[in-house]
């Protein structure tokens, strides 16, 4: 047994999964009919049946891990509604709604807010443009907040007021990583484990933001451009099990070395719309 294997076993023994509740949306109307990010190309054919099958595997994976999954009804004419992470940001039963940048997605905001309202969440209607958990990630008691392409920086002070938590602004500079959750993964959102509580792609951030990440999370996993380019960082962790893109083999190895249990899922069809595992998953923190 190598030293790396021993270290992984010791780290694994300290990591404990915790049950989560997620909100998802079946991709019944998924297609790529417009272009609002570099991943989308309307001239390339999409296969809705294949997207549904891949999404179902992700859904089933969450259930097998002991998590609860709630569903919002898909709306005809909103092909990106499958990316439920963008539909809001939820902590302590407070749901901060989304207000989308592009006209093609703006009707998703009210659809998700209606769902929150009908299920008894304390809904806060946003005054500023933001795309939910795509750009807001909870790490311990801190909210990391992305800006640069979709969410306005003014939404950061708004979300700080709504949740009464520290909000740290991070500026994105690469249009292929237009949401924070495409460039940074939270691995221990409840514990804030200083050993490896996040993973990220350095080149996705400006110099100031990179310095913040390096200072706050010196032991973070640094993910390769290759793995990030297939949205390997767009992942979901329960503190032990980490659901990632199946092709992100380098990130998979890094996670195992830190004592996590990576689980690969193929969402290649939904990647055509610029989304992966995390994009399809909104955590409901009640």
What is the length of the chain?
Answer: 286
Q: Which residues are catalytic?
A: 179, 279
Position of tokens 């998924």?
A: 30
Q: What is the pLDDT of residue 9?
A: 57
The CATH class given to the 3-283 domain equals alpha beta
Q: What is the pLDDT of residue 193?
A: 43
pLDDT tens-digit map of 118-135: 999 999 999 999 999 999
Contact 271, 83 (CB under 8 A): no
Q: What is the pLDDT of residue 1?
A: 47
The structural domains of the chain, with segments of one domain joined by +, span: 3-283
Q: What is the pLDDT of residue 42?
A: 97
Q: What is the pLDDT of residue 7?
A: 52
Contact 273, 32 (CB under 8 A): yes
Dihedral sign, Cα of residue 191, residue 195, residue 196, residue 201: positive
Q: Which residues of the chain have pLDDT under 70?
A: 1-13, 189-196
Token pair of 215, please? 């200072």
Q: What is the pLDDT of residue 197?
A: 87
**88-91/94-97 β-pairing:** antiparallel
């Amino acid at each position: 047994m190598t030293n790396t294997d021993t270290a992984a076993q010791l780290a694994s023994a300290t990591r404990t999964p915790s049950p989560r509740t997620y909100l998802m949306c079946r991709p019944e109307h998924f297609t790529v009919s417009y272009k609002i990010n570099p991943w989308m190309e309307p001239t390339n054919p999409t296969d809705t049946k294949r997207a549904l099958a891949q999404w179902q595997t992700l859904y089933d994976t969450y259930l097998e891990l002991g998590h609860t999954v709630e569903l919002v009804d898909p709306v005809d004419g909103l092909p990106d509604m499958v990316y439920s992470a963008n539909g809001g940001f939820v902590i302590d039963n407070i749901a901060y709604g989304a207000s989308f940048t592009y006209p093609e997605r703006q009707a998703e905001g009210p659809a998700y807010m209606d769902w929150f309202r009908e299920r008894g969440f304390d809904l806060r209607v946003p005054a500023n443009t933001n795309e939910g958990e795509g750009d807001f990630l909870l790490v311990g008691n801190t909210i990391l907040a992305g800006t640069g392409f979709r969410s306005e920086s003014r939404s950061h002070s708004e979300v700080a007021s709504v949740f009464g938590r520290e909000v740290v602004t991070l500026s994105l500079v690469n249009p292929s990583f237009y949401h924070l959750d495409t460039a940074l993964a939270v691995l221990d959102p409840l514990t804030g484990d200083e050993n490896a509580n996040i993973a990220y792609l350095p080149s996705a951030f400006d110099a100031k933001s990179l310095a913040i990440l390096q200072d706050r999370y010196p032991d973070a996993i640094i993910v390769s451009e290759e793995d990030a380019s297939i949205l390997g960082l767009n992942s979901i962790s329960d503190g032990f099990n980490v659901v990632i893109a199946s092709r992100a083999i380098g990130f998979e190895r890094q996670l195992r070395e830190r004592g996590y249990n990576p689980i690969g899922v193929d969402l290649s069809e939904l990647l055509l719309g610029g989304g992966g595992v995390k994009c399809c998953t909104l955590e409901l923190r009640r």
